Amino acid sequence: MDAGAMAARCPRSTLIGQGRLNRHRFIIMREGYASVVRDPRATVFGILWDLALGDVAALDRYEGVASGLYIKAMQPITVPGGSKRALIYLGGTSVTGSPRPGYLEAVLAAATAAQLPAAYRAELHAWQRGRTP
Structural domain spans, the chain = 3-128
Domain 3-128 has CATH 3.40.50.970: no
Instruction: Name 20's bridge partners.
Output: 45, 78
pTM to 2 decimals?
Answer: 0.89
- Which secondary structure element, helix H or strand E, spans residue 6, and what is its range? helix 3-9
Torsion of CA 50, 56, 62, 64, to 10 degrees: 120
pLDDT in tens, the chain (133 residues): 898 899 999 999 999 999 999 999 999 999 999 999 999 999 999 999 999 999 999 999 999 999 999 999 999 999 998 999 999 999 999 999 999 999 999 999 999 999 999 999 999 999 877 766 5
Return the DSSP state at 41. Answer: E
The CA distance from 127 to 130, in Å, is 5
Of 94, 51, 53, give the one whose Cα is nearest residue 71. 94
